[in-house]
Amino acid sequence: MKKALLSGTTKASLRSRFANDLDSRALSFSSSLDIDKTIALHDVRASIAHATMLGACKIITLKDSKQLVQGLKQIETQMLHGEFVWESEFEDVHMLVEHRLTQLVGPVGERLHTARSRNDQTVTATRLWLRECLDFTKAELIEFAKALLDQARLEASTPMPGLTHLQFAQPVTLGHLFLAWFEMCIRDLERLQETRKRVNVMPLGSGALAGVSFPINRKMTAKQLFFSEISENSLDGVSDRDFVIEAVSVAALGMMHLSRICEDIILFSSTPFKFFEVSETFATGSSMMPQKKNPDIAELVRGKSGMVAGNWVALFTLMKAQSLTYNRDNQHDKKSLFEAFEIWNSSLSVCTPMVRLLLFNRERMLHACEQGFLNATDVADYLVTKGLPFRSAYQIAAQLVRECEFKKCTLTELPLEIYKANSELFQQDIYSRISLHGSLNARISYGGTAPVRVKEAIIRAKKRLSQIVKAK
């Protein structure tokens, strides 16, 4: 019995054709045990499905299959309770689990690896982990989207200056800005859904690369693991990591979006703006300057977004020009994948409450809308509605801005005689048209910032979000 154990699933079993042990430096360099901890449970669950299928297909006896499953379930429990011992002399979790199984159930443990290779095994566990992770991320993103929508509803009519080139451009509503952030978020959700379909494909049964010589039933294994499809080609099955690259590109886009949202939060809560105020519970002080209240959390999210882009580059270049099929390079798929989603999920977990707790200085935003000629386009648009071609109207409006600058007044303060001196088309109603509310209410195009449109958009946004919540 002891001999069988040693000759079977110990690390030595992979070296039977070698006269010497692997150099200890080479072992520690190549081992993925530490990183594999993240997929350990998924790997054990895939083994349970595999062992069950082997029995059902009579590739091993039902008795052996049951013993394997029972041993694997014991290992699963040990892992769940933190009682699983991670011995460092194994190359990866797959070898360690097989070894531990054989210790638990005896030589029958050596039958688990029938009709399977670590090449199809590792990528199956990674897919199982990622599918679960995508579902978790989806839930986090939905919470974030809800926070954005709630703020949009509360601030649907709150005016603020809209910016282009970081210069005040035209008035918008704060609700409209929240809806813009929501649009980014809903696209991230859609991408997650799309990616999930391609992740949910089972490569197990591809063997090392060429398929296996036993009458396995891949669909049976896939069903147990809730995979919706099985991979078509064994060479591709073991060597494809597109799904990892795709998922991390979705995470990189999601983080890029968070970095832009955080940048706006940082900018609008900065001393010169003071439109927003980050809640005390999401702001930090300075070790030296007692008065400081800094938006560090938003800055950290902004900073982390680059790391996820880096993860994507690392993965893309990992696979670029890699010959089919499996190469050990692929072991590096996991670290970048895990890191990217850890960053995205932890960022979402702080962004949601930070957005919910944001405070707004509505008076300052209103005041800012009234400075800087944000209604100059409205002056031109007014003349267009009176029949003037836009380019001529633009020139008249520009001339009026110049006159205001000279007189140090706003367009709403400029007397009607001056308007009339520039164009006979101006009437008293110019003032209501260029008032802040006149300007906002005029932007009634579909997707525009008029509060009436923003309120309609919120209703549509809610429906779209609930469809995504329901979708599998």
Binding residues for ligand ARG, per CB under 6 A? 32, 92, 118-119, 122, 326, 328, 330-331
- CA distances for 216 relative to 115, 219, 233, 245, angstroms: 8, 9, 15, 30
Closest CA to 442 of 373, 368, 378: 378
Minimum CB separation of residue 143 from ligand ARG in Å reads 32
- Return d(Cα 21, Cα 12) in angstroms, integer: 8
Is 259 annotated as catalytic? no
How many whole angstroms separate alpha carbon 19 and alpha carbon 12?
Answer: 11
Please give the structure tokens belonging to residue 76.
Answer: 């699963």
Residue with tokens 């380019």: 391
Residue 32 or 259: the one with the smaller Cβ distance to ligand ARG is: 32
Helix spans in 85-173 (H): 93-105, 118-154
Known catalytic residue at 28: no
- Minimum separation from the CB atom of position 120 to ligand ARG (A): 10
Of the listed 165, 213, 287, 445, which one is catalytic? Answer: 165
Q: What is the DSSP letter of 294?
A: B
Nearest 5°: phi and psi at 34?
Answer: -60, -50
- Minimum CB distance to ligand ARG smaller for 32 or for 269: 32
Q: Identify which of residues 125 and 379 has a Cβ nearer to ligand ARG in the complex.
A: 125
Q: Looking at beta carbons only, is 259 or 336 nearer to ligand ARG? A: 336
At a CB cut-off of 8 Å and minimum separation 6, what does 309 contact? Answer: 252, 255, 256
CA 313 to chain centre: 16
Q: Give the DSSP H/E element, type plus range, for residue 3.
A: helix 2-7
Instruction: Output the smallest distance, CB 31 to ligand ARG, in A.
Output: 9
Return the number of the residue (14 or 357) whose C-beta is nearest ligand ARG.
Answer: 14
Helix axes 118-154 and 451-470, enclosed angle (nearest 10): 150
Least Å distance between CB 223 and ligand ARG? 25
Beta carbons within 8 Å of 222's beta carbon, 6+ residues apart: 202, 204, 228, 229, 230
Read off the tokens for 330: 């692929």
| Closest alpha carbon to 175 in 440, 389, 383, 385 | 440
For residues 121 and 448, the answer to whether their CB atoms sit within 8 Å is no
Instruction: Decide whether 90 or 268 has the Cβ nearer to ligand ARG.
Output: 90
Contact 247, 90 (CB under 8 A): no
Compute the least distance from the CB of residue 297 to ligand ARG, in Å. Answer: 34
Catalytic residue among 286, 349, 392, 466: 286
Q: Which residue has the tokens 């005029």?
A: 442
Minimum distance of ligand ARG from residue 91's CB (angstroms): 7
Q: Is the Cβ of residue 259 or residue 325 nearer to ligand ARG in the bound state?
A: 325
Alpha carbon distance 409, 406 (integer Å): 8
User: Rounded to whole angstroms, how far apart are CA atoms 327 and 242?
Assistant: 15
Q: Which is nearer to ligand ARG, 17 or 328 (CB)?
A: 328
Catalytic residues: 165, 286
